[in-house]
Amino acid sequence: MGQTITEQILADHLVEGDLETGEEIGIDVDQVLTQDTTGTMVWLQFEALEMDEVQTELAAQYCDHQTYQFDFKNTDDHRFLRSAAGTYGAYYSRPGNGICHQVHKENFAAPGKTLLGSDSHTPTPGGLGQLAIGAGGLDIAVAMGGGAYYVEMPEVVNVHLTGELPEWATAKDVILKLLQDLTVKGGVDKVLEYTGPGVDSLSIPERTTITNMGTELGATSSIFPTDERTEEWLEQFGRGDEHVELTPDDDAEYADRIELDLSELEPLISKPSMPDNVVPVSEVAGEEVSQVIVGSCTNGAYEDILPAAKMLEDEDVNPTTEMVVAPGSKQASEMLAREGWTAEMMAAGVNFSEATCGACIGIGHVPASDSVSLRTFNRNFEGRSGIEDDSVFLCSPEVAAAAAITGEITDPRELDLEAPGFEMGDGYSDGYGADDPDIITPDDPVDDELIKGPNIGDVPLKDPLGSDVSGETLLKMGDNITTDHITPANAEALKFRSNIPEYANFTLTRIDSSFPDRARAADSGVLVAGENYGQGSSREHAALCPMFLGVEAVLAQSFARIHHANLFNFGLVPLEIDAETYERIDQGDDVEIVDDVGAGVRAGKEEFTIRVNNDWEATGEMSASEREREILAAGGKLQWTKQQHAGGGSDAAPADD
Ligand code: MIC
Ligand code: SF4
């Protein structure tokens, strides 16, 4: 039987298991990426694992999330990251050089290679045929040490594209349409593989907008075949020799097929406060808009910003509205400037941000209270913009620019403007990519030892899993709880990403401000949640901080993929419960997982009895591979990996092997 592109790449990298859907496989990782707010833990873990050199072909450390450095703690984190990159052999991208996904795509992403990143939007370079997966920081640290990455073999689903995008419809509308149809859970444990005649019509930046936001479907990854467009694009960056042909075999079999006729798309918009809350723009037209932001890792390429710039050529930003452009990379900023578009946009009333995540996680450009913000970003989870009662819509740069011009949500087809279309930049060959002074190479590092400021702490460890797992239900939550709810990423909280005792004080406070105090007082406890618990980001802090506060287990109707893995990595027991059990358990109830839990986990037990208030019982299911069980039993992946080294295991090869 023939193979899909995903299967071809996985087969090339397979070190353990078989490519059977649902089975755990181990793959070799070619490249890793990490960023400032997950990277500090990655390197602290790398240090704790006693590694002394990066073992992957390439590792890249970006500083992109908190580049305004509001606090010396952020700047200390950046200095630490530069020192870690220099000490262990990674590329280092300076603060302000751009968002990891955009800069990685420009500089390092390569078709046919595997990439593992401690950021959930790592799948972005799937648009040029790289199999890229987001994971928790500890998985990155282990992979950097030469260990395999273990993941459940996903279902490979074919998204078959036909037709061409009509005027004013964009790549963003492709992914918004999929979100509308499949929801934020629709891609869990799946790779979406795009094929069909419609692929040809999409440029690389358009493809990467789609693969970037596949994350919002919960997908493990998203990938496109490669073609002349991929090759040309790599050539523009002086990397044409990295091109490889990737197409599915003629007789490749997919688990499912989704048909999407591009010619039927129209401008779409995601309403507050979930990315799958998608409607045609015309349905919400007329709503007043106070703020418009174009950019981010989804739509921050030069080519993404250009249509908005063209639309503003003879127009001004409406006096009632503020418009900000936040480019995805410094290279995009530089190209806009060199081509004269920055000046044009500034003259039209646009304000420019440095190339940073910033506003996407509420760092800068926080919307006014009771106001609408229209963004070309990928997430609009409630409160993520920095204000709790926010009203954030997600859309294409064209729809964003239309709103900036009129001051209200506007279907751009209603404007008396020529459709800007999508045009590739031709400025790259002028040297924007090569010899970038903002990327420090491992061959020429600035530092050769770790520099830790006073805020940089240690990695907390948990004891091996014992027999008793019990405690009070500290919090009962609903469906689709995001990692932004669990451990927020706003300016106040982000300065503590490398200081867990302090960061833990923010745990779940967006749902219940008394949570950290109650958890500390209770000594041990459990969390209860509905469907898709832990969706959104890859941040392992969403497992680490509850663990630090004494949470022992999470009972949820279902889990998001990365968070589920992070719970094992930090020794928390994740159990799936049914709707009836969920309904019956109340906050404050005493929960006990019956019998010797540690022994049960080690023995491969799948169903655990949960006793509530010593009164009634239900079943919780553990879905885990043997390796995950061992990790959980050891108290977490760091301890387990160290044991493996001591015992000569192979999960992470010590650097001096
Ligand atoms: C996000 O978009 O939520 C983030 C901030 O990029 C996170 C990473 C983090 O929490 O540092 C992600 O997507 O993984
Ligand atoms: Fe940064 Fe936002 Fe992209 Fe996350 S989603 S990497 S915060 S721009």
Ligand 2 closest atom vs CA 298: 3
Rounded CA gap, 212 and 297, in Å? 8
Residue that finishes a domain, picked among 264, 293, 324: 264
Report yes or no on 84 lying in a domain: yes
Ligand 1 near 119 CB (within 6 A): yes
How far does the centroid of ligand 1 lie from the alpha carbon of residue 110, in Å?
23
How far does the centroid of ligand 1 lie from the alpha carbon of residue 539, in Å?
6
Tokens encoding 21: 């859907």
Q: Is 505 helix (H, G, I), strand (E, B) or coil?
A: helix
Contact 495, 71 (CB under 8 A): yes
pLDDT at 36: 98
pLDDT at 430: 53
Tokens encoding 356: 């940073």
Residues 286 and 404 both lie in one domain: yes
- Supply the CATH number for residue 337's domain: 3.30.499.10
pLDDT at 656: 37
Closest ligand (CA of 392): 2
Terminal-to-terminal C-alpha distance of the chain: 38
Rounded CA gap, 214 and 519, in Å? 35
Name the residue at shortest CA distance from atom 1 of ligand 2: 357
Contact 128, 233 (CB under 8 A): yes
Residues 333 and 395 both lie in one domain: yes
Residues 202 and 338 both lie in one domain: no
pLDDT at 19: 98
Residues 162 and 38 both lie in one domain: yes
Contact 129, 230 (CB under 8 A): yes
Q: Is 119 helix (H, G, I), strand (E, B) or coil?
A: coil
Amino acid identity for residue 646 in this structure: A
Separation of CA 187 from chain center: 14
Q: What are phi and psi of 291, to 5 degrees?
A: -140, 140
Residues 629 and 588 both lie in one domain: yes
Q: What are phi and psi of 158, to 5 degrees?
A: -90, 125
Structural domains counted in the chain: 3
Ligand 2 closest atom vs CA 64: 1
Report yes or no on 432 lying in a domain: no
Rounded CA gap, 346 and 324, in Å? 10
Q: Are strands 149-152 and 24-27 parallel, antiparallel or unpaired?
A: antiparallel
Residues 317 and 200 both lie in one domain: no
Ligand 2 near 491 CB (within 6 A): no
Name the residue at shortest CA distance from atom 6 of ligand 1: 119
Asked if the peptide bond before residue 273 counts as cis, ω within 30 degrees of 0, the response is yes
Ligand 2 near 484 CB (within 6 A): no
Ligand 2 closest atom vs CA 35: 6
Instruction: From residue 335, give the alpha-carbon distance in Å to each of 34, 98, 184, 351.
Output: 25, 13, 34, 17
Q: What are phi and psi of 339, to 5 degrees?
A: -85, 0
How far does the centroid of ligand 1 lie from the alpha carbon of residue 104, in Å?
16
Ligand 2 near 378 CB (within 6 A): yes
Rounded CA gap, 515 and 275, in Å? 27
Ligand 2 near 99 CB (within 6 A): yes
How far does the centroid of ligand 2 lie from the alpha carbon of residue 67, in Å?
13
Report yes or no on 441 lying in a domain: no
pLDDT at 654: 43
Nearest-5° angle of CA 645, CA 651, CA 653?
A: 60
pLDDT at 648: 67
Task: Give the residue, out of 378, 385, 538, with the most ligand 2 atoms within 8 A of its beta carbon, to mutate for a pocket test.
Answer: 378
Report yes or no on 565 lying in a domain: yes
Ligand 2 closest atom vs CA 537: 4
Residues 478 and 499 both lie in one domain: yes
pLDDT at 426: 78
Task: Give the residue, out of 119, 373, 482, with the most ligand 2 atoms within 8 A of its beta carbon, to mutate for a pocket test.
Answer: 119
pLDDT at 655: 39
Ligand 1 near 236 CB (within 6 A): no
Report yes or no on 457 lying in a domain: no
Residues 575 and 627 both lie in one domain: yes
Q: Is 80 helix (H, G, I), strand (E, B) or coil?
A: helix
Kindly report the length of the chain: 657
Ligand 2 near 297 CB (within 6 A): yes
DSSP 2-44: B--HHHHHHHHHEEES---TTSEEEE--SEEEE-HHHHHHHHH
Ligand 1 near 482 CB (within 6 A): no
Q: What residue numbers bound the domain in which 240 lies?
A: 5-264
Ligand 1 near 230 CB (within 6 A): no
Task: Give the residue, out of 379, 385, 562, with the most ligand 2 atoms within 8 A of its beta carbon, to mutate for a pocket test.
Answer: 379
Closest ligand (CA of 37): 1
Name the residue at shortest CA distance from atom 10 of ligand 1: 539
Residues 207 and 289 both lie in one domain: no
Closest ligand (CA of 39): 1
- Residue 646's contacts (CB-CB under 8 Å, 6 or more residues apart) are none
Residues 357 and 290 both lie in one domain: yes
Residues 412 and 489 both lie in one domain: no
Ligand 1 near 490 CB (within 6 A): no
Report yes or no on 489 lying in a domain: yes
Ligand 1 closest atom vs CA 134: 14
Residues 232 and 296 both lie in one domain: no
Residue that finishes a domain, picked among 219, 249, 264: 264
Rounded CA gap, 172 and 398, in Å? 10
Name the residue at shortest CA distance from atom 2 of ligand 1: 537
Q: Is 487 helix (H, G, I), strand (E, B) or coil?
A: coil
- Supply the CATH number for residue 489's domain: 3.20.19.10
Q: What are phi and psi of 608, to 5 degrees?
A: -115, 140
Q: Are strands 469-476 and 590-593 parallel, antiparallel or unpaired?
A: antiparallel
List beta partners, residue 559: 533
Name the residue at shortest CA distance from atom 1 of ligand 1: 537
Residue that finishes a domain, picked among 392, 408, 424: 424
Ligand 1 near 361 CB (within 6 A): yes
pTM of the entire predicted model? 0.97
Report yes or no on 526 lying in a domain: yes
- Residue 207's contacts (CB-CB under 8 Å, 6 or more residues apart) are 126, 127, 128, 171, 194, 199, 224
Report yes or no on 459 lying in a domain: no
Task: Give the residue, out of 36, 37, 38, 65, with the most ligand 2 atoms within 8 A of its beta carbon, to mutate for a pocket test.
Answer: 65
Low-confidence residues of the chain, pLDDT below 50? Answer: 653-657
Greatest pairwise CA separation for the chain in angstroms:
72
